[in-house]
Structure 1
């Protein structure tokens, strides 16, 4: 008789929803974790006979899913939540956000903001986020300290800030940061030019060259508003997508954020170039940017993930809300109730984000050999009873308040809804400190 294998953790659950293979729901199964990696997913009885865990967790009323992936955010801006609401994008940026950033954003601001954002995201089941903000080395530090997986955006903009003096300075600092973490288990990197209207052709061309040499994604706001497109036509004689295509930036490495206003020809071009899209429904709604043609993008086979955008424009870092809105808006805009079903929304919030970031061999689904990035959702409460389909419940019923446990790389970071080894009141006090300063 073969003795049981000693492993770090066994998690038994009512349902395991691995995302791939598609439409799979495993009942009364267990995930076996060792050294941060998923070693096996087997029936619970088999797990008990084959493995001896150092930690054995039984979640009889829970659904286990891959950790959610927030494909677009500006984490530190959580400290500006509610600072300037109910305004159009450019008025919001020009008269409120950018002036506040000029006055207050420094390394301390980013550390406190990114740490607070990581805590909020972990409590909502998010295990990985793709960030774009100043002082990216500080966001990287916060993610490491919190134990989160992060794609750190090497931000570039043709405007000076407290972080860098010009586009070349942004790029140089970003490349130095990337070289500091060549193989960190939790960090990856993206080039992050802010937007076509804040980055010159020269800078975009430089980024394209570096991205090809280093095989890094390029993460950029694109076709967010009608004004953006109108101004591009006035300035360059081209719509922004055409301009980026002319510069060689449309590729499988591109993560285009928002993509609200698109022609059929542009959608076909995006498919031809195998671009990725980060869909941010709440931010698009709140800033009145419009409705992204998600059903058309998906029908063309384009990879679409989901992001929250910043808490300054959302105002929540809540991927459950984004999943639900993604599905509901797609149905309303297409007049077809059957489009974008719950399972597809869940995939967009997990595996599709990992694919866009080039991390799908590591995370995004629950598969043997992948990192144990796992979220548990408690279905025991009154508001989730009764349950005919756990995937439907995850998208249409559950909220981030139902997240009970989170593991990243096999490490338990949220236990029964409480952050492990973190003083939440200290984070709240830091947020209050910055609120007072921003109001001064």
Structure 2
């Protein structure tokens, strides 16, 4: 007798990511109660299962849902507000003044909804976020039905969200407590950067992270100026300072990590840290090129991040995969550097491992949550296709995503969003905030 299940997906190819380097043809993925039940040959699947829903994808590749390891989702409302500026001018002249005037719970909720819709439409099912009003961000991600790790931002100076480091932590932990137990929303501690957070605050963050078993999510070594000023003020490079303070560890996600010497890489590797590589943002802000191949060679967990739409202009992990692979080749003069399978691993299981969620997401493996993405490679501009993973990185874009599932629930089907909030409402939100920010 056939076993009844919720969903059977029958793509042309399955790229499970784990085991590495494998592409399965004419296989099916069985899903029940939100979990991946089995990955097996199509003929066998038809004999074993009777599915409530069968989704046939004869020209598609099925991959794990993408994991955006670093984003400022609400900054979708500031997309294009200040282009072609280096990081500190961009922050000081445009972003921070705009935030001081406009950031509120409504701003964060609306901007995060826009970002979640954009991410889901591009196959991103998990986002590691960092911004203000984490309660509003959590509400937006939950409304969209997207998995998120919401950062509890910490700074020394006041913003509309909080007055000082103690206030950020107090308010953030209260939000975490209110959302405890939610199946799709979890939290990290997110001290903004070494140049905006004191020694005492970093030490408190480390203690809280250990006590509560939370990731630490922070920007570090993004620009040459940051490092030069850190040496002038503290007598050491930022990573050395974080090591001295005991902040480095297996739960640390170091965002950007562009300017690293051998000692920096040794510190990250020795302490088991992860890195969120944000190639497009780093290019657009003129920050530089992170040494991705050296990090991988050192055994450091590496994931991909979009950063915010204000410093990237789109939240698109297909773009990040392509840029990461091409920049690695160009910067090392080695065409074999960071091949397509590695780029896909970074966008999926690499990010999941950095977040400590690899037991639940990041690969198409029995027992994991059915966070899945189907990409259509059947169009004339994707043909011929000799290697679907190569096409995912070097040919396809987010516009080729047709189906997305989170925990087995359909979020995008046949290219159409199934979110509770429709495009008309999203456009109304964007127009409202465009008017406010422009004045």
How does the TM-score come out when normalised to structure 2?
0.99
Q: 1:358 maps to which residue?
A: 356
Aligned to 1:267: 265
Partner of 2:9: 11
Residues 330-369 of structure 1 mapped to structure 2, 5 A cutoff: 330-369=328-367
1:289 CA displacement: 0.3
CA distance in 1, matches of 2:41, 2:294: 39
| CA-CA distance at 1:217 after TM superposition | 0.8
Specify the alignment match of 1:427 in structure 2. 426
Tell me which residue corresponds to 2:235: 237
**Counterpart of 1:199?**
197
Structure 1 position 183, deviation (Å) = 2.2
How far the C-alpha of 1:351 sits from its partner, in A, is 0.2
1:249 to 247, 256, 261: 247
Query: What corresponds to 1:217 in structure 2?
Result: 215
Instruction: Tell me how far apart the structure 2 counterparts of residues 85 and 338 of structure 1 sit (CA, whole Å).
Output: 33
Query: Matches of residues 178-193 of structure 1 in structure 2 within 5 Å?
Result: 178-193=176-191
- Alpha-carbon separation, structure 2, partners of 1:378 and 1:140: 31
3-state SS of paired residue (2:26): strand
Runs of 4+ in 1 over 2 A off after TM superposition: none
**8 Å contact from structure 2 (residues 279, 323) kept in 1:** yes
Partner residue of 1:133 out of 127, 131, 134: 131
Does residue 58 of structure 2 align to residue 51 of structure 1? no
Q: How many residues align?
A: 438
User: Partner of 1:154 in structure 2?
Assistant: 152
SS in 2 for 1:53: strand
The SS at the match of 2:281 is helix
Of 392, 399, 402, the match for 2:400? 402
Gaps of 5+ in 2: none
SS of alignment partner, residue 251 of structure 1: coil
Rounded Cα–Cα distance in structure 1 between residues aligned with 2:178 and 2:89: 37
Give the Cα separation in 2 of the matches to 1:392 and 1:320.
Answer: 12
Following superposition, the deviation at residue 182 of structure 1 comes to 2.3
CA RMSD of aligned residues (A): 0.7
SS in 2 for 1:137: helix
Candidates 379, 382, 397, aligned match of 1:381: 379
TM-superposed deviation, 1:57:
0.7
Distance in 2 (CA, whole Å) between partners of 1:264 and 1:237 is 18
TM-score (norm 1): 0.99
Equivalent position SS for 2:322: helix
Q: Could you list the per-position Cα deviations for residues 90-126 of structure 1 after superposition, in whole angstroms to 9, with x for gaps in the alignment?
A: 0110111000000000011111100000000001000
Q: Distance in 2 between matches of 1:26 and 1:88?
A: 44
What is residue 436 of structure 1 aligned with on the other side?
A: 435
Equivalent residue in structure 1 for 2:24, among 23, 26, 32: 26
The CA deviation string for residues 379-433 of structure 1, in whole angstroms up to 9 with x for no partner, is 1111100100000000000000000000000000001111114311110111011
Whole-Å Cα distance in 2 between the matches of residues 359 and 173 of structure 1? 25
| Contact kept in structure 1, 2:239 and 2:267, CA below 8 Å | no
Q: Distance in 2 between matches of 1:303 and 1:183?
A: 27
2:308 corresponding residue in structure 1:
310
Structure-1 separation of matches of 2:20 and 2:203: 39
Partner deviation per Cα, 1:112-143 (whole Å, 9 max, x = no partner): 10000000000100000000000011111111
Partner of 1:297: 295
Unaligned runs of 5+ in 1: none
Q: Distance in 1 between matches of 2:365 and 2:42?
A: 16
For 1:64 and 1:159, the matched residues in 2 are separated by 45
SS of 1:31's partner is: strand
